[in-house]
């Protein structure tokens, strides 16, 4: 390998290691003990989908996933049924949460 190829390989390795550190800490990923091939593959698919989504969110918003989780974690919405009528109560987004949501969805103001 040339010197440039070695540097590129180490850079790729660093990105993979950084992603797994993020998955373990910011996404609070924990070991799962699966016994069938289907459940193992399903778990890995979910983990890699979450990782891809978080990396995308970081790129388009410029905000760390740790901060995004801190902003959105307390948000809740609700659906209540009163006298047979359903009422949806959406979460109230802060300005910062709305800005991140708009950036993630590509909305420009």
| Dist CA 14 CA 36 (whole Å) | 31
Please report, for the chain, the start and end positions of each structural domain, with discontinuous segments joined by +: 3-105
Give the model's pLDDT for residue 30.
Answer: 61
**At residue 86, does pLDDT exceed 90?**
yes
Cβ 57 vs Cβ 68: under 8 Å = yes
Phi, psi for 33 (deg, rounded to 5)? -110, 95
Q: What is the model's pLDDT at position 43?
A: 81
DSSP symbol at 74? T
Helix (H) or strand (E) holding 103: helix 95-105
Q: Is the dihedral of CA 86, 96, 74, 16 positive or negative?
A: positive
Q: Which residue did the predictor score with more confidence, 31 or 103? A: 103
Q: What is this structure's pTM?
A: 0.57
Please give the angle made by the CA atoms of 77, 81 and 82, to the nearest 5 degrees: 125
pLDDT digits (tens, 9 = 90+) for 20-50: 666 556 556 666 677 888 888 888 788 788 8
pLDDT higher than 70, residue 70: yes
The pLDDT of residue 21:
64
């Amino acid at each position: 390998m040339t010197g440039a190829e070695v540097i590129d390989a180490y850079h790729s390795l660093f990105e993979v290691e950084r992603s797994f550190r993020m998955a373990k800490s910011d996404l609070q990923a924990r070991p799962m003990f699966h016994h069938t091939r289907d459940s193992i593959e399903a778990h890995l698919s979910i983990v890699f989908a979450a990782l891809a989504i978080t990396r995308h969110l970081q790129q388009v918003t410029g905000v760390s996933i740790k901060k995004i989780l801190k902003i959105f974690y307390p948000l809740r919405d609700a659906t209540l049924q009163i006298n047979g009528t359903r009422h949806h109560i959406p979460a109230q987004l802060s300005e910062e949460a709305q800005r991140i949501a708009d950036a993630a969805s590509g909305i420009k103001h």
